[in-house]
Amino acid sequence: MNTRLEAKEGSDLYVEASPWVCDLLHNKELECLESFSKKDPILSVIGPGEKALPYSYCYVDRKIGKSNRERIKRIVKNGSIIFADYRLESLAIVEETLERAGFFDRGFFVPQRDLSKKIDFGNLESSSIYFMLQDLRNPITFPRESLDMIDMTLSGHHAYTTISEARRIFRELYKSLRPEGFLHLGEGKIDMNYPEEKMIKKALEFERSGDKVVIIDNRENDKKTYILPPKGLNELRRIYLTPEELQKQKKLEFDSEGNVFFENQKLKNNLIDPKEDYYFISSIDNFYQRIKRLIHPVEELKPMFYEMIDKEQCQSGQGLSEHYLSPEKICELLRDQGYLDVDCFDHINRDIYYPFVNITARKE
């Protein structure tokens, strides 16, 4: 058995970067799960990333170290883990990674490989690892009160683009938890909700001139969202209109370059304007600067790391792909949904200004 991860050079930068960038976040993530004591719990890891870090491997000297299977087994005991993601290919790589890390060796876990089979939550096998397709942008399909622990680290902000979508996800996760169930979130210490606020502001400007306006958000090209101007600023919500219904509306449209169109006429001000929206851009720049400062790789890897981070920074600056809500907002939303003991751990006692936080909460 080979319990070491073979990250092919240059092909898996996220894995190479994780021991630098995510060490504190990931270590705290596992500590939080360890603090939950229940006999043989059912844990779901939502958005594990292809290499399922930090479940699969621990970090040693800023590198991927040995398999973490003993530590994970101590957390789950004879319970089970359900790795859920929206991409089938990622789940296949998670399975491969865990196999390589010795998770499916005798005395650890049994892989439940058949992804086409609906998981029978009422009759989960003990000491098993399941894989499940779940796009968080769609309704969450865990049965009511089926999970003891949910871990969603660095994945929620990819799925929600608006506060009301985040609220929906937290509400559905709450329903999936059993009484006294435990939630862990890992998120960024940054607020990227600005583009959504800007969309609303622009829509309201047009509404004031007497037109009922529908916002059409085409920024993420894999899913079109139709969002009505809200009553309150936090109520931007996704609705689905038939083509006929849509025809009747006045349309304010945003494309993936941040261009804004009203009734097919391009407007002068983009969704994010480097001058007008200076504070948003500079807070994003700061966030990624902090991430860059954490990484001290060997010289030959530096350009690749920086390229990866610059790309993310550029997307975030356009209001694309990364939709971090501030930790304060997340905690507020969790409390609103009925979670108790909502707590945010933000690693403030370090020399560096660490850009991620761990958030925990529980159900009554």
49 binds ligand SAM (CB under 6 A): yes
Compute the least distance from the CB of residue 266 to ligand SAM, in Å.
30
**Contact between residue 238 and residue 165 where contact means Cβ atoms under 8 Å apart:** yes
Query: 156 or 229, CB closer to ligand SAM?
Result: 156
**Contact between residue 295 and residue 21 where contact means Cβ atoms under 8 Å apart:** yes
Query: 1 or 60, CB closer to ligand SAM?
Result: 60
Query: 203 or 357, CB closer to ligand SAM?
Result: 357
Query: 87 or 266, CB closer to ligand SAM?
Result: 87
> Per the structure block, which two tokens stand in for 167?
């609220």
**Contact between residue 196 and residue 163 where contact means Cβ atoms under 8 Å apart:** yes
**Alpha helices (H) along the chain:** 13-21, 23-34, 69-76, 88-100, 156-159, 163-176, 194-208, 243-248, 278-294, 302-317, 327-336
Selected binder of ligand SAM within 136, 216, 333, 357 (CB under 6 A): 136
Q: What are phi and psi of 312, to 5 degrees?
A: -65, -40
Of 81-89, 112-120, 241-249, 338-346, which part binds ligand SAM (CB under 6 A)?
A: 81-89
Selected binder of ligand SAM within 41, 47, 195, 327 (CB under 6 A): 47
Compute the least distance from the CB of residue 363 to ligand SAM, in Å.
21
Of 4-12, 116-124, 130-138, 295-303, which part binds ligand SAM (CB under 6 A)?
A: 130-138
Contact flags string 169-198 toward ligand SAM, x per CB under 6 A: -----------------x------------
Compute the least distance from the CB of residue 131 to ligand SAM, in Å.
12
Query: 90 or 112, CB closer to ligand SAM?
Result: 90
Compute the least distance from the CB of residue 274 to ligand SAM, in Å.
26
Compute the least distance from the CB of residue 295 to ligand SAM, in Å.
15
Tokens 């990866």 sit at which residue?
308
d(CA 82, CA 171): 19
- Distances from the Cα of 345 to the Cα of 29, 166, 283, angstroms: 10, 20, 21
Of 34-42, 153-161, 209-217, 236-244, which part binds ligand SAM (CB under 6 A)?
A: 153-161
- Secondary structure (3-state) at 46: strand
Compute the least distance from the CB of residue 53 to ligand SAM, in Å.
5
d(CA 61, CA 167): 38
Compute the least distance from the CB of residue 331 to ligand SAM, in Å.
19
86 binds ligand SAM (CB under 6 A): yes
**Contact between residue 47 and residue 152 where contact means Cβ atoms under 8 Å apart:** yes
5 binds ligand SAM (CB under 6 A): no
DSSP string for residues in 185-219: EEEESS---HHHHHHHHHHHHHHHTT--EEEEE-S
Tokens 């790795």 sit at which residue?
83
Of 106-114, 147-155, 173-181, 309-317, which part binds ligand SAM (CB under 6 A)?
A: 147-155
Look at the alpha carbons of 364, 75, 144, 153 in this order and tell me if their dihedral is positive or negative.
Answer: positive
Q: At what angle do helices 23-34 and 13-21 cross, to 10 degrees?
A: 70
Identify residues 225-264 at the interface with ligand SAM (CB under 6 A). Answer: none
Identify residues 296-355 at the interface with ligand SAM (CB under 6 A). Answer: none
Selected binder of ligand SAM within 87, 201, 293, 311 (CB under 6 A): 87
d(CA 338, CA 208): 36
22 binds ligand SAM (CB under 6 A): yes
> Per the structure block, which two tokens stand in for 198?
């800007």
Binding site for ligand SAM (CB under 6 A): 22, 47-49, 53, 85-87, 90, 134-137, 153-155, 158-159, 186
